[in-house]
C-alpha cells in the first residue's frame, strides 16, 4: 500500500511537471504574437487542459496502461521507477531550458524499469510499436501540416487589408483553446494510464477501467502545472525559431491541434513539444527556409533522440535501487 501511495504521488507530480514543462508550448505562440497577456493565456489554457480528458475519452490511457506492458508480471515498484526517471529528466531539461518530451521520458522510463524487472519479454510489442509510430510520425505530420496550412492561409489572405491581423490575433484565442483541449486529451491520459495500471497491479481494481477520480486528478494536476507556466520553454519555443506574428500563431495552433487531437482519438500518445515545435518550423519554412533558425531546432532534436535511452537507463537504476531498499 505504501508503494501505491508513492506511485500516486509521483504520477501527479509527473503530471504537474508535464503541464509546467510541456503545456507552455501551447501558450508560447499566443504570448509572443501578443494575442493575450501571458497570465491570462496560461489560465485559459489550464481550464481547457482540465476539460480535455472529460470530452475526448481515454484511448491514450488504454494504450499506455493496457496495451504496452503485461500487468501480470510487473509490480508497483516498476511504475515508481519509471515515473522517477521521467520526473528527473523533466526537471533537468526544464532547468537547462531544453524543450524535451515528457512523453518520451515516460515511455523510456517504463521500458527501462520493465526490462530491469521482468525482461523485455514483458513489453507487449504491438502496443510498443503503436506508441513509437505515434511519437516519431507526429512531428513530421506537424511539420508538413504547418507548412501546407500556412501556405494556404497566405494564398487566401494575399489581397487582404491590414485588418486581417486583427482576425488572426483574436482568432488565436479560439485556436489556443482547441490546442489546449487536445493537449489535455492526450497528455493527461498518459498519467491516467500509469495510475490505472498501478491500481490494477496492486489489486485495487481487477480490470483496466480508468476510474473517474483518476481522470479528475490527472486533469487537475496537468492544469495546475499549466497555470504555473514554464517561462524558459515559452521563451525558447516562442521566439528562438523565428519571429512569430499573429498569422503564424494561428496557423501553428490549428496545425498542432489537428495532429494531437487526431492522435488522442486514435489512442496514439504524442509529444506536444515535438508537434508544436515542428508546426512552428513548418510555418516558418512557409515564409522562407532561411528564416528558420535551424541550429535551435537541431539542439532540440538531439535532446529528443537521447530522451528514451537515457530515461530507460535511469529507470533501470532506480528499479534496482528500489529493489535493494524495499523488503
| DSSP per-residue letters across 248-275 | HHHHHHHHHHHHHHHHHHHT----HHHH
Domain boundaries, the chain: 2-321
Sequence-separated (6 or more) residues with CB below 8 Å from residue 78: 69, 110, 113, 114, 117, 118, 319
Report yes or no: 96 and 235 within 8 Å, Cβ to Cβ. no
How many residues are recorded in the chain?
Answer: 327
Q: Do 7 and 198 contact (CB within 8 A), yes or no?
A: yes
Backbone φ, ψ for residue 69 (5° rounding): -130, 145
* pLDDT > 50? residue 119: yes
- Of 14-18, 93-97, 138-142, 214-218, least confident by mean pLDDT is 93-97
pLDDT digits (tens, 9 = 90+) for 286-306: 877 766 666 656 766 776 788
Q: Decide: 117 and 319 in contact? Cβ < 8 Å.
A: yes
Q: Given this model, what pLDDT does residue 201 score?
A: 93
Q: Is the pLDDT of residue 51 over 70?
A: yes
Mean pLDDT for 55-75 is 91
* pLDDT (tens digit per residue) in 146-189: 999 999 998 887 777 667 777 887 788 888 889 889 989 999 99
**pLDDT tens across 186-195, in order?**
999 999 999 9
Going from the C-alpha of 184 to that of each of 49, 52, 105, 226, the distances in angstroms are: 4, 5, 18, 10
Q: Per residue in 203-250, pLDDT tens?
A: 999 999 999 999 999 999 999 888 876 555 455 554 454 556 778 778
Average pLDDT, the chain: 85
Provide CB contacts within 8 A for 255, sequence distance 6+: 142, 145, 146, 149, 150, 279, 282, 283
Residue 81: pLDDT band with limits 50, 70, 90: very high
Q: What are phi and psi of 57, to 5 degrees?
A: 80, -170
- Report the pLDDT averaged over residues 70-98: 89
Amino acid at each position: 500500500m505504501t508503494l501505491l501511495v508513492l506511485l500516486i504521488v509521483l504520477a501527479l507530480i509527473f503530471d504537474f511537471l508535464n503541464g509546467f514543462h510541456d503545456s507552455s508550448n501551447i501558450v508560447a505562440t499566443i504570448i509572443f504574437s501578443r494575442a493575450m497577456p501571458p497570465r491570462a493565456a496560461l489560465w485559459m489554457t489550464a481550464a481547457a487542459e482540465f476539460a480535455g480528458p472529460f470530452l475526448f475519452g481515454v484511448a491514450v490511457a488504454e494504450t499506455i496502461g493496457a496495451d504496452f506492458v503485461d500487468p501480470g508480471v510487473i509490480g508497483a515498484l516498476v511504475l515508481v521507477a519509471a515515473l522517477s526517471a521521467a520526473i528527473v529528466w523533466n526537471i533537468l531539461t526544464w532547468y537547462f531550458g531544453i524543450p524535451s518530451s515528457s512523453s518520451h521520458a515516460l515511455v523510456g522510463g517504463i521500458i527501462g524499469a520493465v526490462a530491469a524487472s521482468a525482461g523485455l519479454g514483458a513489453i507487449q510489442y504491438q502496443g510498443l510499436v503503436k506508441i513509437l509510430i505515434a511519437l516519431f510520425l507526429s512531428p513530421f505530420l506537424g511539420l508538413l501540416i504547418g507548412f501546407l496550412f500556412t501556405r494556404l492561409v497566405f494564398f487566401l489572405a494575399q489581397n487582404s487589408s491590414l485588418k486581417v491581423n486583427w482576425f488572426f490575433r483574436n482568432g488565436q484565442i479560439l485556436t489556443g483553446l482547441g490546442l489546449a483541449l487536445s493537449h489535455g486529451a492526450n497528455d493527461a491520459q498518459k498519467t491516467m494510464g500509469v495510475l490505472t495500471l498501478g491500481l490494477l497491479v496492486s489489486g485495487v481494481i481487477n480490470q483496466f477501467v480508468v476510474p473517474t477520480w483518476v481522470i479528475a486528478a490527472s486533469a487537475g494536476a496537468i492544469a495546475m502545472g499549466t497555470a504555473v507556466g514554464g517561462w524558459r520553454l515559452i521563451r525558447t519555443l516562442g521566439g528562438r525559431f523565428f519571429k512569430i506574428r499573429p498569422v503564424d500563431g494561428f496557423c501553428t495552433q490549428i496545425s498542432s491541434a489537428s495532429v494531437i487531437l487526431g492522435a488522442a482519438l486514435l489512442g496514439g500518445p504524442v509529444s506536444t513539444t515535438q508537434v508544436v515545435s515542428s508546426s512552428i518550423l513548418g510555418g516558418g519554412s512557409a515564409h522562407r527556409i532561411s528564416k528558420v533558425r535551424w541550429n535551435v531546432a537541431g539542439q532540440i532534436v538531439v535532446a529528443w533522440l537521447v530522451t528514451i535511452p537515457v530515461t530507460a537507463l535511469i529507470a533501470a537504476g532506480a528499479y534496482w535501487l528500489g529493489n535493494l531498499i524495499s523488503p
